[in-house]
Chains A and B, each alone.
Chain A
Amino acid sequence: MSSTKEVAARLREAFNSGKTRTAEFRLKQLKAMLNLMKENEGALLEALKKDLRKPNFESIISEVLFTKNEIVCAINNLTEWMKPEYVEKTLVTKLDTCFIKKEPFGVALIIGPWNYPIQLVLTPFIGAVAAGNCAILKPSEVSPNSSQLLSELLPKYLDKDCFAVVCGGVKETTELLEEKFDYIFFTGGTHVGKIIMTAAAKHLTPVSLELGGKNPCYVDKSCDINNTAHRIAWARFLNMGQTCIAPDYVLCTKAVREELVPALINCLEEFYGKNPQESEDLGRIINEKHFNRLKALLSSGKVAVGGQTDEKDKYIAPTVLVDVKETDPVMQEEIFGPILPIVDVENIDEAIAFMNRHEKPLALYVYSADNKVVKDVLERTSSGGFCSNDCIMQMTLFFLAFWRSWR
């Protein structure tokens, strides 16, 4: 097996040969990726089941379909994206040609997370390929079945000199980070994000850090409580809550809470039946460490619904907590699990002040039929993305730059 140094050197040589420059080469690789997804759907679903007990219903949509769409978007637009962009000239340069030329950086390193172990590592990879880079993919060791599958499949479909998969944990990632890359794309937690950026600084490597945070969800009195409950519950408990843009906690008045909680309880039964542990549509917590971390958070506030756990099964019931205080443990870290705390506020100003006291989140949600309320929250807060009257859907839009707050 090649060392990371050898892999990086091989890719750099391939990049320097110029073979990734042409649209033909890039399209060939993208079409091969599409075939990889089409021809191995069963194996991908199986790997996701083993890692996260991800229901096929979720895997097909949030992992396979989303990734395929990204590839198709790149294929359809590549020629356009590669074209030079002609710009307005000054008087002195009126007779000259002025344009911005898009160029590959060189060799990119893409480090993926475990929660959507296919989609979240392949989506940036597709971008890197389309832009003409060579790339090393480092999928997460925490989702070993998905990572193993990617390391088997990618070399079968893609140019082996230009693209490689390196599997491993902290040790292998640290080794990789000693090499010089021309771009590093990381998805994961803020703590590791800082380590990545510090390592990148040694080589002046630009980075994209897709991190996380506590995504607040403000529910106004003027909303359709039933629809609201459905949308929030769907987004919160998808992938057993292990989604970076899931609503992390709800802010609402006591009066709204009194309607929202029963609506959520009804929803949960609609979605997962009377005993969610038996539902085929609920995943599981990724591992023991996260299970224990989440179990400890259940002692915050009061359980309105759920709260059951099963260690052997890595199962935590979809749980709604009420009477949660800002200082409770569940409000000190990104939950990343099937727990939805509801924090009472007096009014929208208190809600906005609450959100602004905390780090800028990846996503921010508002439920209200009143446009003024939506605009008010939008203008007085900051977050990576924003969605009103739904959750997560802003991620399905390919043309919305999925810019994030840095924390």
Chain B
Amino acid sequence: MDQMKNTVGKARAAFNSRKACSLEFRKQQLQALRRLLTENEDRIADALHKDLNKNKLDTQVFEIMGLEGEIALLLEKLTEWAAPRPVERNLLTLMDEVYIQPEPLGVVLIIGAWNYPFLISLQPLLGAIAAGNAVVLKPSEVSENSAALIKELIPKYLDKDLYQVVCGGVAETTELLKEKFDHIMYTGNSTVGKIVMEAAAKHLTPVTLELGGKSPCYIDKNVDIDTVCRRIAWGKFTNCGQTCIAPDYILCDKSIHEKVIERLKETIKEFYGEDPKKSPDYCRIISTHHFKRILSLLEGSKVAYGGQYDEASCYIAPTILTDVSPTSKVMKEEIFGPLLPILTVNNVDEAIQFINQRDKPLALYAFCHDKKVLKKIVAETSSGGVTANDTMIHFTISTLPFGGVGNSGMGAYHGKFSFDTFSHHRACLIKSLKMETVNKVRYPPGSPEKVKWIKRLITKQVNFGKLGLVFIGLLGALLAVLMKNGRMQLRRNMFLLICAVQNLSRK
């Protein structure tokens, strides 16, 4: 479609105009986004209520606050993060400037998801803006009210050329993916993730894929079951289970199985009352399609609690499943809904084995008092992230990279990781045309003498003494001072001395 070509073309022309290069400009855009959130809080809450039956408090806590925190962090740190990052030099480049310069990539495509439609579309957008890119944002058509609101508001607050919003479904996304981008960030499921990466491969576009998986939740026997069940129920039933890092299933020690079920039942009542359908704190399933999908997962397992549903309102009650077979339907795909299967294991090794037989998940949870056991679980499994003794909280720490591994995704973002994801890290070496004497050793014609000199200059030694390095550094600094004072002969001698010291301090 020409429309997609035009949209991307506009963003690219705006990027090439270099207006997003200035840090001041980027900060203004971030501040404008902050105003978008504060001035439209009610409308955002309303859209989320229509899409997911999300209440105002949940909107604040799960959608808005995270974004505001991220904007504040980016405004505070942008100058520092965008600055050249000096790195360690070798002997040959001791007098030169050596650093990594973060640069914008160009035009970034961000494809959002429907479960946290504002958070998941706008958080990557913040990072892309901070890194100086132009952006084409494609919010999920499944959360249609949120998508429409994003499309309306973004051009009112942000630069209309640099940041474009495209709405639509599969057809529009397919057309969009034919265009060349400089980075694509996709949040969603692994089937579409593969399609996105394959499309990106045609243009050699790097991708960040935030996918999903079955996030396991292990409960050891010696835990405070009350607290554990509260934390798990919160993580599981928030947003009606439609959270990529929700605990998907429980693996608990056989001895506490009954207690866990009991406490979970009580916690659900505590949170949502006897009839969660009436609770203003309980969301709905996003669509009939997902409603039917989730219900079909009940097959073959026993409903220990919940199981009620209402198609007209896409309501499924918080449900606990027992007698769950590892090969049952509910254990074959990411649930992404309010069904909590509980399987039992005899010990932590069995739990680890179970987890490792499956695809690497986006999150892994373990509840245990014994730090040694926790360390063992972390050491012997793999996942995008881990929270021990709680659920989901690692998501809130912006100094931790948020992302998946294996089937749960590639790349990461949040905080500085967003900035770095949407930047190219350019390796820069700024030399002068002086010191040509040193360079002569590398030019042909070759000779054994030249090889000896080059080896002296650049050979690394195993376990090189740190004191020796300090000494060489001081000699190098002295040499630099002597150069400034223009003492040619002394300069040459100092240089030879440095090489000799390095030679002598070899193991």
Q: Which of A's residues lie within 8 Å of B, judged by CB?
A: 16, 18, 21, 34, 55-58, 60-61, 65, 68-69, 72-73, 75-76, 87-90, 92-93, 98, 100-101, 103, 105-106, 182, 190, 193-194, 197-198, 200-202, 204, 206, 209, 211, 223-224, 227-228, 230-231, 234, 270-273, 279-282, 356, 367, 369, 374, 378-380, 382-390, 393-394, 396-403, 405-407
Contacts and interface: CB of A to CB of B under 8 A. Distances in A.
B433 A228 contact: yes
Contact of B202 (A194, A356, A403): A194
B100 A197 contact: no
Given A57-B444, A60-B451, A384-B427, A202 B194 contact: yes
A211 B201 CA distance: 13
Interface string B392-423: 01101111110001110111000000000000
B442 interface: yes
Interface string B416-436: 000000001111111111001
B197 to A, nearest CB: 4
Nearest to B356: A16
A160 to B, nearest CB: 24
Nearest to B435: A227
A251 to B, nearest CB: 18
B463 interface: yes
A367 B433 contact: yes
A204 B201 contact: no
A85 B134 CA distance: 32
B206 A406 contact: yes
A89 B427 contact: no
Interface residues of B, number: 75
Nearest to B196: A201
Given A93-B397, A389-B432, A401 B445 contact: no
B361 to A, nearest CB: 13
A385 B446 CA distance: 27
Contacts of B202: 194, 198
B461 interface: yes
The secondary-structure label for the interface of chain B is mixed
B439 interface: yes
A299 B204 CA distance: 31
B92 to A, nearest CB: 7
Contacts of B426: 382-386, 403
B172 interface: no
A201 B201 contact: yes
A27 to B, nearest CB: 10
B358 to A, nearest CB: 13
A18 B425 CA distance: 33
Contacts of A87: 397, 399-400
Contacts of A273: 445
B190 interface: yes
Given A279-B445, A369-B432, 8 more contacts: A58-B446, A72-B461, A201-B200, A224-B433, A271-B444, A378-B101, A390-B439, A406-B206
A405 B158 CA distance: 28
Contacts of B443: 230, 234, 270-271
A57 B451 contact: yes
B90 interface: yes
A209 B393 CA distance: 34
Given A98-B397, A201-B197, A204-B410, A386 B451 contact: no
A397 B93 contact: yes
5 contacts: A21-B379, A200-B197, A234-B443, A280-B445, A397-B89
Contact of B429 (A16, A230, A390): A390
B382 interface: yes
A403 B431 contact: no
Query: Among A21, A101, A397, which residue has the most Cβ atoms of chain B within 10 A?
Result: A397
Contacts of A60: 451
Interface string B6-21: 0000000000101001
A281 B444 contact: yes
Contacts, number: 213
A393 B451 contact: no
A209 B204 contact: yes
Contact of B430 (A98, A374, A383): A374
Interface in B356-394: 356, 378-380, 382, 393-394
A193 B463 CA distance: 37
A69 B201 contact: no
Query: Among B411, B425, B444, B461, which residue has the most Cβ atoms of chain A within 10 A?
Result: B444
Contacts of A228: 433
Given A21-B379, A58-B446, A271-B443, A398 B90 contact: yes
A139 B394 CA distance: 41
Given A280-B445, A403-B424, A18 B380 contact: yes
B382 to A, nearest CB: 6
B100 A401 contact: yes
B87 interface: yes
Contacts of A68: 459-460
B205 interface: yes
A204 B93 contact: no
B461 to A, nearest CB: 7
B98 interface: yes
Interface string B180-210: 0010000000100110011011101110010
Nearest to A235: B442
A279 B443 CA distance: 13
Interface string B230-261: 00000000000000000000000000000000
Contacts of B100: 400-401, 403
B450 A57 contact: yes
Contacts of B194: 201-202, 204
A211 B399 contact: no
A234 B438 CA distance: 14
Contacts of B458: 65, 69, 396
A87 B32 CA distance: 29
Given A193-B204, A204-B211, A397 B433 contact: no
